[in-house]
Structure 1
Amino acid sequence: MNLPDAVRLRCAPNKKIKGHAMWHDNETTVDYVNFRLVAKACAELIRDTGGEPISIGISGGWGIGKSSLVRMVASELSPDQGAGKSAVSTEASKYIVVTFNPWLYQGFEDARTALLQTVGDAVLEEAQKDTGLVDKAKSLVKRINFLRLAQLGGEVAATLITGVPVGLIGKVVEAGSEAWNKESIKEGIAAAQEVPGAAKGILDEAKPMSLPKEIQSFREALEDLFEELGITLVVFVDDLDRCLPKTAIATLEAIRLLLFLRRSAFVIAADDVFIRGAVRVHFAGTGLDDDVATNYFDKLIQVPLRVPRLGPNETKAYTALLFLERAHRSGQLDTEIFAAAKTSVEARLRETWTGKAVDLAFLESLVPQGNAELLGLMGLAERLAPLLFSASTVQANPRLIKRFLNTVFLRKTLAKPQNIDVDVQALAKWHLLERCDEATANALAEKVSAESEGRISLLRDAEEAAKDQEAKIQLPFGDKPFLREWLLLEPLLGDMDLRPILHLSRDSTVRDFGADDLNSAGKALRDALISARTSNDALKQQIREAGDVQSGLAMARSWEARRSSRTWQKAEEVLMLVEVCRIHSSAGPRAAALVSQAPVAQLAPGLVSALASCEWAREVLTKWESDEQTPQSVKRAITSARKQ
């Protein structure tokens, strides 16, 4: 995704841009991919426990739909489920549904204490309805405050509040240990004092108290309160795989404290691959093997549930429903028709195992006859879906599909004020190539020029050759199955002026197609810069003769041409920037924009040495030096270069 698109989508994901609705990236209970069946089964597992504890793990990769599935499960238990908590009565039980997102607390509060407090608040609110149980609920909150305090300030804090040595802490205090942060202890005391007598009534001041016994007492008190209130606590833990490893492990440890209590259920959404990585970080240096890392999560989870990946039919249906949702939100499709379409899709997806496919005829039946725009989009969904399903860079990931379509429609929106008339289907086809095979897209873009009126004969020949399965397709396409399918995708682009499409997909560096495009001297310089590995007098002379405008364009073109082989490790990779800017300082801002794209984690000191003497790169080096992801060797190289 190019920079203008990314900025606009991050800043206003839920806005309409000049009348064109975009798709937000939030979790939803609206089911476009037949997840509702899985959600119903998960909710049924919770109902059928008969009060026995249960833990369910919902796993899957980034963007696959874990959060949406969690919300659907919650809605099955509580139709009025909101963002926080709610209660719903059934014949057998009353469910107190709590949604906990540790990512929101990261950096502000310890995830363990936040989870305990969230559960305590939910139970206390429910107990307010029964005056006979309010005192018990308040006593439970006191216990939670004690445990929060013990976590925040350790046993030192518990000793300071109660006056009773907890465990071995008396010995530590006597030894004058300063292991605990005094300010944290003070904050913990203040937090506990928010509930009058928080530390009183928990401990018998005549007896020393051990923290393990207090934890067990807390569990027993919570279990008893659930029983007396007649409730089942259902805790949904979401976005665990967005957290730093420390927060993720802290949350899992808190879950362990509450886990396997009668009348309790946990539904934990996380990428199991991420959790294994977090466990390895947590136990770094202990020689932890993969089996142990896997078992850590498995011991918390009784019922593992993996979010199903979209199949070809689901991908097609999902893409089509996104088009219909956009039309509905912009007023082009009646609510009744949109609702009927969702119902039809849900029914069809339940029957695909019988051979009933989501084909073009079915998709066209979802929209009013005569609506040419929507019929065209149904055709686009039917053609795009197989490639969105098979492409390794998308793999039918719902979030990536949304982002793909957001980019396409944003470009369509940006075309109007620039008096560019371009079909959304052509934009979609080109962006699919950008997304799935950037090297080929760049190679084709380099061949577009004003001289050929934006048409690429090589692309036209390849589209023709692709029609024959036996024919070989010349480079840059080769024999890649994806590219052959892409070439056959309608509309064909070989006879189309691609300058408008590339203009809409341009970034700040390349593809300035028009009258100021490369002339013969600029093209020669571009080729020389692509092949150059060291500075030489002949190259410098070419740069002078080309002039500042052509040199700037040639610099950008050569930079783009070497994108696929760039490692961000070697000085020679920025040679074209350094050499052009040394002679034409006007190219500096463009060069800075190019090099600022670097993935800082991949940088090597060799690149710094090449840029250290460049005035235009000074600000970029400063940003790298302050970036947490920049390797320490690179930071040292920047500091050393400045001293010299």
Structure 2
Amino acid sequence: MWHDNETTVDYLNFGVVADACAKLLQQARGEPISVGISGGWGAGKTSLVRMVAQRLEALNKPDDNTYVVVTFNPWLYQDFDSARNALLQLVGDEVLERARKSEQLYEKAKRLLKRINVLRLVQLGGEAAATYFTGVPVGMVGRAMQRFGLIGKGDDDDKSADDKGKKEGGDGLLKPAEPVSLPGEIQAFRLALEALLDELKITLVVFVDDLDRCLPKTAISTLESIRLLLFIKRSAFVVAADNDFIKGAVRVHFAGTGIKDEVATNYFDKLIQVPLQVPRLGVNEAKAYIALLLMQRAREDKVFDQAKFEIALDAVSKRLREAWRGDSVTLEFLEAQVGVGDQHMVDLMKLADGLAPLLTRSLAVDGNPRLMKRFLNTVFLRSSLAEPQGIKLDLEALAKWHLVERCAPTLATALANMVTSESDGRVAALKAAEDANAVGQELATPFDANDPFVHQWLGLAPPLGEVDLRPLLHLSRDTETRDFGTDDLTAVGRDLRDALAAATARNTPLTEAITKAGAAQAGLAMTRAWALQVSKRTWRSAADVLMLIETCKVFAQHGPTAAELLSKAPAAAIGGGLIPELHAQQWAKPVLEAWLVHPDTDKAVKRAIEQMNKRGT
């Protein structure tokens, strides 16, 4: 299975964007900068952020500048502490840790943390806010602030600050009865943080991830925290979020104010100096991504060599970087990476080549890397469930069926409803559609002739029109309950069914097989074989009705059933080659008489019937 985790292994050619982002941060040379990485859910924002962090590590110069990367995920905090407080605390803790080597800087870092704690308490309001704004301990919260050194105890205590710590006080941020302003305190916090970063010779890079998973209130709270820390020297923010989500959160935040779209856009633009968009995957990139995922799986299953995988990864990455030259990721290119003599790997590359266009262009997947990975996970999971249940299906068939489930559920439901035990799981309409699509003919219901996806899906290997779809539908019960009816055929009956469907001339083994099956099973086998051959029947050769004739010769009681099946033949399609054989069967006489008077029956066929009637044979 492929885990839904971020990675620094580049299957999507995101490295180019990661290089550009890291270079932007380096070129800032200590000046504050904010970068926004925008992309939809599952587009690969987190992986891109991790790639940027990896590149920053290579740019560190300890004597001049070290990039300290702090990753903040507000989604983890929205049910516990406020995202705003959590972000401030995370930054303070990181600076404190970096300052441990210097006693002087460590003391400054601790005072910075105290300022953060004050700001957190003030947000609670009540006694904390009153204590903060007046400098006088108010209530239990105020006394607690004094006890923990968040406010001082007065001038007398300042004088005794060096008395080996016997008395607390003098080291608080505020003195008693010394009111301050919140804006002033925020500015003091910013200046203190900026000075510490400069003395530590570090650039603090805060990656804010999963912002678009948060509730609107949490998202806005996080953005407000970013604003508090933004534009401090030696600081950088990289915010990964879907722009459309941010705009929606701003609208919710300012609900009832008549905010316009441009205002919502400007809100985010004021926070983000450099916008970067996660590249959207085209067919080329999707094909490379799926192929590499399949190679990775094969490597983990030890059917593909590690060295070959690394060579293929380099080759595919290079091909994607140079795609602008016109060199695309073709099936031939992918086969060359796995070795044309390795049929298993070649089949996997064919699967990637066939899936990529459909998964890219379908609105249900739309080239989303996470959804493509989940698609493959489902296919491989069903494959692992098949063998224990005695089901033999290749990955290509499993993938093709799941594709129509995922991208065209209405069509999938319609096809599933056509699958019954009576037809042995085969859908004649699907076979007819595949044949029509191959020669460019019009498609019939339930296939939408105006949907490009339908045409591409029908042309995707392998064809499913003559495949028993019951195993596929059985494995897809995770999406819907399936009921195909009761299959009354025994093993002997199924063997006879297949023999009848394959027979082109009467023979002794076939007669013996009919006799061995018995009357009941022979009747079922005849009906099923007739249904199986519906798409292949020309209505012009005696072989088309051989299964009816031979079964009824052994068990005459099935004559009425055979006549009913034969009566559904299109009169206009009947050929003269059927008449001699059928005329000799008593059960077929009523059908021949109906054809004789039918206006659509060919004149030559009518003459043949009349001649046989005159002979009395």
What percentage of residue pairs aligned between the two structures are identical? 58
Q: Secondary structure of 2:337's match?
A: coil
Please, which of 143, 146, 151 is the counterpart of residue 115 of structure 2? Answer: 143
Separation (CA, whole Å) in 2 of partners of 1:410 and 1:74: 34
Instruction: Identify which range, 258-267 or 153-162, moves more after superposition.
Output: 153-162
Change (3 A) 1:242 1:350: same
Is 2:22 aligned against 1:23?
no
Give the AA of the match of 1:123: V
Preserved contact between residue 472 and residue 478 of structure 1 (Cα < 8 Å): no
Q: Secondary structure of 1:145's match?
A: helix
Preserved contact between residue 122 and residue 132 of structure 2 (Cα < 8 Å): no
Q: Secondary structure of 2:237's match?
A: strand
Change (3 A) 1:311 1:433: same
Give the AA of the match of 2:312: A
Q: Which residue of 2 aligns with 1:326?
A: 297
Change (3 A) 1:371 1:209: same
Q: Secondary structure of 1:446's match?
A: helix
Q: Which residue of 1 aligns with 2:69?
A: 97
Q: Which residue of 2 aligns with 1:626?
A: none
Change (3 A) 1:484 1:150: same
Shift of 1:229: 1.1
Change (3 A) 1:379 1:397: same
Per-residue deviation, residues 380-412 of structure 1 (Å, max 9, x unmatched): 101111111111111110000001111111000
Is 2:283 aligned against 1:312?
yes
Shift of 1:230: 1.1
Is 2:78 aligned against 1:106?
yes
Please, which of 342, 362, 365 is the counterpart of residue 371 of structure 1? Answer: 342
Q: Secondary structure of 1:366's match?
A: helix
Shift of 1:336: 1.5
Q: Secondary structure of 1:315's match?
A: helix
Q: Which residue of 1 aligns with 2:52?
A: 73
Is 2:92 aligned against 1:132?
no
Per-residue deviation, residues 103-126 of structure 1 (Å, max 9, x unmatched): 111111111111011000111111
Is 2:25 aligned against 1:46?
yes
Give the AA of the match of 2:481: V
Preserved contact between residue 411 and residue 504 of structure 1 (Cα < 8 Å): yes
Shift of 1:194: 14
Separation (CA, whole Å) in 2 of partners of 1:294 and 1:48: 26
Q: Which residue of 2 aligns with 1:229?
A: 200
Alpha-carbon RMSD: 2.6
Preserved contact between residue 150 and residue 173 of structure 2 (Cα < 8 Å): no
Separation (CA, whole Å) in 1 of partners of 2:364 and 2:391: 29
Q: Which residue of 1 aligns with 2:558?
A: none
Instruction: Identify which range, 501-510 or 302-311, moves more after superposition.
Output: 501-510
Preserved contact between residue 27 and residue 65 of structure 1 (Cα < 8 Å): yes
Please, which of 215, 222, 226 is the counterpart of residue 244 of structure 1? Answer: 215
Give the AA of the match of 2:442: K
Shift of 1:142: 1.1
Per-residue deviation, residues 459-483 of structure 1 (Å, max 9, x unmatched): 00100111133x2101111211110
Q: Which residue of 2 aligns with 1:478?
A: 448
Give the AA of the match of 2:72: F
Separation (CA, whole Å) in 1 of partners of 2:199 and 2:238: 23
Q: Secondary structure of 2:315's match?
A: helix
Shift of 1:291: 1.2
Q: Secondary structure of 1:51's match?
A: coil
Separation (CA, whole Å) in 2 of partners of 1:254 and 1:365: 52
Structural mapping, 1:505-516, within 5 Å: 505-507=476-478, 510-515=481-486
Change (3 A) 1:126 1:336: same
Preserved contact between residue 161 and residue 189 of structure 1 (Cα < 8 Å): no
Change (3 A) 1:376 1:65: same
Separation (CA, whole Å) in 1 of partners of 2:211 and 2:145: 25
Q: Secondary structure of 2:338's match?
A: coil
Q: Secondary structure of 2:80's match?
A: coil
Give the AA of the match of 1:48: Q
Q: Which consecutive residues of structure 2, in runs of 5 or more, have no partner in the other structure?
A: 153-164, 489-617
Change (3 A) 1:107 1:411: same
Change (3 A) 1:516 1:192: farther
Q: Which residue of 1 aligns with 2:525?
A: none
Shift of 1:371: 2.4
Change (3 A) 1:291 1:189: farther
Q: Secondary structure of 1:89's match?
A: coil
Give the AA of the match of 1:272: N
Per-residue deviation, residues 232-274 of structure 1 (Å, max 9, x unmatched): 1100000000111111111000000000111100000001111
Question: TM-score, normalised on structure 2?
Answer: 0.73
Q: Secondary structure of 1:125's match?
A: helix
Shift of 1:97: 0.8
Preserved contact between residue 112 and residue 251 of structure 1 (Cα < 8 Å): yes
Preserved contact between residue 133 and residue 179 of structure 2 (Cα < 8 Å): no
Separation (CA, whole Å) in 2 of partners of 1:447 and 1:190: 77
Per-residue deviation, residues 330-375 of structure 1 (Å, max 9, x unmatched): 2222221111111111111011110111001111122144322111
Change (3 A) 1:185 1:426: farther
Give the AA of the match of 1:106: Q
Give the AA of the match of 2:447: F
Change (3 A) 1:200 1:353: same
Separation (CA, whole Å) in 2 of partners of 1:191 and 1:499: 71
Please, which of 288, 291, 304 is the counterpart of residue 259 of structure 2? Answer: 288
Deviating runs (4+, > 4 A) in structure 1? 184-200
Q: Which consecutive residues of structure 1, in runs of 5 or more, have no partner in the other structure?
A: 1-21, 80-86, 174-181, 518-644
Shift of 1:162: 8.4
Is 2:424 aligned against 1:443?
no
Instruction: Identify which range, 190-199 or 235-244, moves more after superposition.
Output: 190-199
Change (3 A) 1:187 1:315: farther
Shift of 1:201: 2.7
Q: Secondary structure of 1:365's match?
A: helix
Q: Secondary structure of 1:249's match?
A: helix
Is 2:99 aligned against 1:120?
no
Q: Secondary structure of 1:98's match?
A: strand
Change (3 A) 1:354 1:247: same
Preserved contact between residue 146 and residue 158 of structure 1 (Cα < 8 Å): no
Separation (CA, whole Å) in 2 of partners of 1:198 and 1:232: 33
Change (3 A) 1:28 1:133: same
- Structure whose CA Rg is larger: 2
Instruction: Identify which range, 204-213 or 317-326, moves more after superposition.
Output: 204-213
Is 2:375 aligned against 1:404?
yes
Change (3 A) 1:189 1:280: farther
Separation (CA, whole Å) in 2 of partners of 1:191 and 1:491: 72
Please, which of 53, 60, 64 is the counterpart of residue 43 of structure 2? Answer: 64
Preserved contact between residue 64 and residue 201 of structure 2 (Cα < 8 Å): no
Give the AA of the match of 2:5: N
Is 2:385 aligned against 1:414?
yes
Per-residue deviation, residues 272-311 of structure 1 (Å, max 9, x unmatched): 1111111111111111111111111111000011101011
Q: Secondary structure of 2:393's match?
A: coil
Preserved contact between residue 114 and residue 150 of structure 2 (Cα < 8 Å): no
Q: Which residue of 1 aligns with 2:249?
A: 278
Give the AA of the match of 2:448: G
Give the AA of the match of 1:30: V
Separation (CA, whole Å) in 1 of partners of 2:244 and 2:170: 41
Give the AA of the match of 2:266: N
Give the AA of the match of 2:11: Y
